[in-house]
């Protein structure tokens, strides 16, 4: 049913997921879908549910969570989630643009909360921690600008061509790019969102939270 939606999204981006397109793939008339689903929003909610479920599978048992402590446990979870997002580059954009919160997400965050509380967090600090971590438990971070996560195709930005002329007006930016010039420019989750950046930010937050009062 919505496995077809995932397949289309993986193959051609989330923008190609349309009622009519989906019906055609399923060899059925477009309007038949409305018997099974209330509408497109329900479809997308279902896709998000599938993603969350996939994250749950990717994490594994975690029976040794009590042994390793909250910080490595959360770290493992976020990095596992990131693997899932790497398989579905359109997912961050979809999740970020949803206007309703699927129920499956509540269960997911309940598990994270259990980890935090089990690690000695007060509910107050746990709440702030969830805000601070943002979408990292879902495997992605808010990028400065993340074309891949947002739309679908990563087209060369128009400004790239003019970057040469703008060089002298923006000395620091050009210097930084020159100094950094990533070897992983084709990262699927957006500009520079390499695993290294993700881990740096994640550890920055986790260490900060550890210092904040546990």
Binding residues (CB under 8 A) for a copy of itself: these are 93, 95-103, 105-107, 109-110, 113-114, 117, 123-124, 126-128, 130-132, 134-135, 141-147, 150-153, 155, 157-159, 162, 166, 169-173, 175-176, 179-180, 192-193, 197, 200-201, 204-205, 207-209, 212
Question: 21 vs 76, which CB is nearer to DNA?
Answer: 21
Q: What are phi and psi of 47, to 5 degrees?
A: -65, -45
Total of chain residues touching DNA, rule CB under 7 A: 15
- List 4, 12, 30, 174, residue binding DNA (CB under 7 A): 30
Q: Which does 166 bind (CB under 5 to 8 A by kind): DNA, a copy of itself, none?
A: a copy of itself
With CB under 5 to 8 Å by kind, the binding choice for 86 among DNA, a copy of itself, none is none
Task: Give burial (CB, 10 Å; 0-12/13-18/19+) of 40.
Answer: middle
25 is a site residue for DNA (CB under 7 A): no
Among 25, 34, 72, 106, binds DNA (CB under 7 A): 34
Residue 142 CB, shortest distance to a copy of itself, in Å, is: 3
**CA separation for the pair 194, 189 (Å, rounded):** 8
SS (H, E, C) the chain: CCHHHHHHHHHHCHHHCCHHHHHHHCCCCHHHHHHHCCCHHHHHHHHHHHHHHHHHHHHCCCCCHHHHCHHHHHHHHHHHHHHHHHHCCCHHHHHHHCCCCCHHHHHHHHHHHHHHHHCCCCHHHHHHHHHHHCCHHHCCCCCCCCHHHHCCCCCCCCHHHHCCCCCCCCHHHHHHHHHHCCCCCCCCCCCCCCHHHHHHHHHHHHHHHHHCCC
Binding segment toward DNA, per CB under 7 A, in 21-29, 91-99, 146-154, 199-207? 21-29
Residue from 28, 66, 166, 170 binding DNA (CB under 7 A)? 28
Residue 35 binds to DNA (criterion: CB under 7 A): yes
- Residue 117 binding partner per list a copy of itself, DNA, none, with a CB distance cut-off of 5 to 8 Å that depends on partner kind: a copy of itself
The site for DNA (CB under 7 A) is made up of 18-21, 28-32, 34-36, 39-41
């Amino acid at each position: 049913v919505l496995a077809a939606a995932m397949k289309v999204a993986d193959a051609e981006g989330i923008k190609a997921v349309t009622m009519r397109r989906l019906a055609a793939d399923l060899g059925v008339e477009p309007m038949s879908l409305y018997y099974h689903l209330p509408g497109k929003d329900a479809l997308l909610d279902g896709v998000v549910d599938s993603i969350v479920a996939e994250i749950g599978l990717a994490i594994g048992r975690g029976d040794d969570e009590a042994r390793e402590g909250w910080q490595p446990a959360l770290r493992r979870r976020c990095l596992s989630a990131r693997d899932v997002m790497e398989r579905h580059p359109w997912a961050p954009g979809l999740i970020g643009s949803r206007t309703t919160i699927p129920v499956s997400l509540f269960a997911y965050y309940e598990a994270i909360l259990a980890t935090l509380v089990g690690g000695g967090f007060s509910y107050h600090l746990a709440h702030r921690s969830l805000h601070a971590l943002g979408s990292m438990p879902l495997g992605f971070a808010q990028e400065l600008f993340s074309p891949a996560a947002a739309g679908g195709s990563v087209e060369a930005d128009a400004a790239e061509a003019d970057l040469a002329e703008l060089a002298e007006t923006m000395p620091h930016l050009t210097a930084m790019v020159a100094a950094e010039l990533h070897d992983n420019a084709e990262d699927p989750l957006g500009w520079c969102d390499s695993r290294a950046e993700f881990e740096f930010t994640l550890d920055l937050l986790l260490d900060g939270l550890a210092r904040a009062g546990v």
